[in-house]
Structures are given as structure tokens and as C-alpha cells.
Chains A and B, each alone.
Chain A
Amino acid sequence: MRPLDEKETSAVFEKLFKFVGNNLKNIVENPSHEGPDSNPGRYCFRLHKNKIFYASESLVKRATNVARPNLVSLGTCIGKYTHGGSFHLTVQALNLLAANAKHKVWLKPQSEMSFLYGNHVLKGALGKLSENIAAGDGVVVFSMADVPLGFGVAAKSTLDCRKLDPNGIVVLHQADVGEYLRMEDEL
């Protein structure tokens, strides 16, 4: 594993900024509470194989004792790089995004299952949605009990949602917690 260089860091931060906005500062400068060190430092990003991990500094120190081929994972995997160099968030980043989300969407109970199977969010499935969502913004999807279910990209802005017919797509699906079962091998 190694730290990210400048270009990689920019790609990761821009993708995260899409979902969390100015809360990105909280994520980057979050003081760590893990590890027995007197000064645990803070969380940092590390690249291992093609995945980006968000781990506390204390954990990274101990992970350096494991040989690179034998190291499988550390901390929280937030995304991966394609061979072409673009960065994609994965479902493991959901807890990190949900805690700092800029825009949120709540689903009705009868429509949660449809989203968890990988379908887009329709107008009829919407229970609530936060204000001032612009088309193309990153959105975190919750159940009515405030349990994060996944995240996606807003296809319509908040104002356009009101005029939409019930079968219109509101949020384009990107990741959901159902992937832990559906794509268990790939994660």
C-alpha cells in the first residue's frame, strides 16, 4: 500500500465532495480514536492494489508489518480505481457518506426492496427528500427509519420532482446494501 499522489487525491476528494459537500473537511481532518497510541493521529487514505482505504494512522502503522501480497484490507474501503484511472465509490463507503451527507432521500417501506435489488428510485417510492437538490448531485438513500440503504445521483432537482409522474426516475442507483449479498465475491 502507499499514500495517494496529487492526482489520485484530487479524484477521490472530488468524488467525495459530490456527496458530502463542505463536510469533506470533517472526513479528512477527523481525529482518530483508535489504537493504543497516546497520539493516534487522524484518518488518512491509502491505496492498496486498486482500492482506496480510509484508515486511522495507528492502523496504517501496524499494517506495514504485513507483506504487501498478504495484506487483504485495512480500515474502510471507500472505492476503487479502474484501469483507466477513474475513481468509483463502492457500497462500503456508505457509512462514511451517510454520516456526512449533504442531500438525503427517504423511501417508503414498500419500495425499499426494489431499491435493494438495484433498481432506480421512482417518484412513487419517495417518502421525503431534502430541499435544494440539484440534478446531478450525490444523494444518500435512507429508509423511513433513518437506516442508510445506499447512494446514487439525483436525476431531477427538488422542484422538478413535484411535477414528475409517479413512474419517473428521481434518483439513479449507484450502490446499495444489497450488494453485500448480490456481489459478495467482487467486494
Chain B
Amino acid sequence: MEAEKQHQFDVDLGNLMAFDSYHTFPSQPPLSREDLTRQCLLKGTHLVQAIADALFTLPSIEDVDGPLVTLPPPTTKLPREKHLPKPKPPTKWEAFAKKKGIQKRKKDKIVYDEQSGTWKRRHGYDRANDEDAIPIIEAKPTDDPEEDPFAKRKENKKNRIEKQEKNRLQNLKEAAKFGALPSHIQLAATALPITGTQAAPKKVTKDELGNVAGIAATATASGGKFDKKLAGEKPQKHEGKYRKFLPVVEGTGIGSLEREQTEKILNKIISKNSHNILNVEKAVTMHNVKKEKKRRSEKGKALASATDKKLKTQKKSFKKGDSKKGKAKGK
């Protein structure tokens, strides 16, 4: 009987898990809560027993602490704990390339070096066409005699690097808007000018470094509680973040930081309410006044037309007078 039951159980030793696919609860006599609980516990006991039986049938290795067993790989696939990371928005270049239809193609690792006449690697140590390896730079007639061409090349390289870094940060800032920041940067995003809400500090102070280390220390399974400490490591003063405020009094005059903050918020509020400058009700009133003026001018015209009618009446009476005179002459 027990053997038959055990054969029906599906045991996943990799996850130390067992379940019964064929189990059903009787539905006809409705079970009370206590009965249902008792049945669940009984079933659970059987399943745990099946796990224990399967575990103790595995070959074991003797050890000081007792027999050790290597578990087989798990067969049940567990779902992902967190949601999939959001896809990053395309960088500026990627968007441009897509728009232009530019295809990405790989470059060769080996490039011909004009200087030494041999084939060398494109990047890295002893690279091809290395600017630092050029001993002589010929001057052109248009060159400025005051200018050092070697220093100029060094300066150009520095500018290229700065531009590249600026573009990279801009792309990260764009990614931060969609919440698709790479995980290795998220912790540092508070200190970088990616979020755009605060200026990047010139140098990370001792306290800030301790704070970041404290936050990073809580990234383990026990939240840093049971982790081994390094030699000389002190307990963290601030395990998490804490708020920072501008100084109450800052030297002579109100602080420039506070002044900037106040000015920014003030301008935001005023610009948000700038639509109130146009007073709609006043405009409506003026419009009504104009309408009334037009009506009055129209009434004046009506009076003029009435005068015309009176003139016509006079003409008629004049005609009648003439006819009377004619009759008198006849008699």
C-alpha cells in the first residue's frame, strides 16, 4: 500500500519538494474546517515522508558532522522572482542609425600600421597607428609656429574622451527616465548627474562612502546580519539613507543654494499660473459693451429711415392740393 502511494508522488529532490498530481478531496460530504486541516496535514506528512525516503536512498559520504549527500539538479522550474528588466531605450546613435538605415558591421581586429609597416591590433598595447608612437610630425606651411602639435593631439584626445563620457551620461539619463537603468549603476545614480536633481559632488566624503557601503552591505540574503566583517571594519552608523538639509545659516547673506532653490520653485509656480494674466471675464465684458454700442448705432439708422417716410407723406398731400384747384376752375 505505502509503496503504491509513494510511486504516485512526484519528488523533486533538487528543490526538496514533493507533490501528488492525482490527489482529490472528497466533495460530497462537505468537510468542516477542522477536518480539512487534518486531511491536509495528513497528506503533507505523507509527502514529507516521501522526500525523506528518497533522500536517504541517495549515496552518502561520511563526514565529521555526519553523512553528506549531494543533491541531484532540480527538475521543477521555479518562476522568476522579479519581473524581467525593462528594455533600454535606444541611445541617440542607435535611434539615428535606425532612422538612416545604417547597418552595423564589425571591424577587423588586425589593422595595417603605417608607421612600422606591419599588421597590428586595432586597440590596446602596441596598437596600430598609435598617436603616442609617432616620433616626428611634419609641419605644414599653414601651421601656427607657436602651437605644439604633440600637445594639440593630446588635447584633442582629452576632448574626445570628455565628449564620449558626456554622451554616455546623457544616454544613462534618458534610460533613467524609463526606469531601465543598468543594475550596476542604480546604486550610484544618486551621486551621478543622471537624475538631474542635484549636482554631482566633486569628491565623495568619508560619510557618504560609509553610507553607500552600508547600503551595499544589506544586499545579501540575511540583509547583512550574518555576514563576516572585514578586518578593521566598524559597524555602520547609517544602515540606510537619511535626509539632508541646507544649512540654517550660511556665511554672509542667505545661502546661494537656498536662494537657487527658492528662485526655482518661485519661477515654477508663477509660470504654472501665468495663464491667469489674460482675464477672461474682463474680455467678455468689453465684448458686451461693444455689442451694445453697435446696437445703438443701428437704432440711429432706423430713426433716419422714419424721417424718409414722413417726407413721402408730405409729397402725397401736395398732389391732392393740385387736383382740388383743377376742379374749381371747371365750375
A contacts, CB < 8 Å to B? 1-3, 5-6, 9-10, 13-14, 17, 21-22, 24-25, 28, 39, 41-42, 44, 46, 57, 60-61, 64, 132, 159
Contacts and interface: CB of A to CB of B under 8 A. Distances in A.
Interface stretch (B55-63, B115-123, B180-188, B241-249): B241-249
Nearest to A44: B254
Contacts of A57: 249, 253-254
Given A6-B265, A13-B266, A22-B270, A132 B281 contact: yes
B269 A13 contact: yes
Contact of A9 (B253, B254, B262, B270): B262
A3 B246 contact: yes
Contacts of A1: 248
Given A25-B266, A39-B253, A17 B273 contact: yes
B270 A25 contact: yes
Closest 9 CB pairs of A and B: A3-B246, A2-B245, A61-B249, A9-B265, A41-B254, A41-B253, A13-B269, A17-B269, A10-B265
Tell me if A's interface is mostly helix, strand, loop or mixed.
helix
A159 B249 contact: no
Contact of B245 (A5, A14, A21, A159): A5
Contacts of A3: 245-248, 258
Interface string B271-290: 00100100101100000000
A61 B281 CA distance: 47
A24 B270 contact: yes
Nearest to A62: B249
Interface residues of B, number: 22
B252 interface: yes
A39 B252 contact: yes
24 contacts: A5-B245, A6-B261, A9-B262, A9-B265, A10-B268, A13-B266, A13-B269, A14-B269, A17-B270, A17-B273, A24-B266, A24-B269, A24-B270, A25-B270, A28-B266, A39-B252, A39-B253, A44-B258, A57-B253, A61-B249, A64-B248, A64-B249, A132-B279, A159-B281
A21 B272 CA distance: 12
A42 B253 CA distance: 8
Contact of A46 (B243, B248, B268, B282): B248
B191 to A, nearest CB: 18
A24 to B, nearest CB: 7
Contacts of A159: 281
Contacts of A64: 248-249
Contacts of A60: 248-249
Nearest to B243: A5
Of A3, A24, A41, A61, chain B has the most CB atoms within 10 Å of the CB of A3
A27 B9 CA distance: 77
Contacts of A5: 243, 245-246
A159 B281 CA distance: 9
A105 B269 CA distance: 25
A181 B165 CA distance: 64
A144 to B, nearest CB: 26
Contact of B261 (A2, A9, A132): A9
A162 to B, nearest CB: 13
Nearest to B253: A41
Contacts of B281: 132, 159
Contacts of B266: 13, 24-25, 28
Nearest to B268: A10
B100 to A, nearest CB: 41
Interface in B51-72: none
Contacts of A44: 254, 258, 262
A40 to B, nearest CB: 10
Nearest to B279: A132
B253 to A, nearest CB: 5
Interface in B217-259: 243, 245-249, 252-254, 258
Nearest to A38: B252
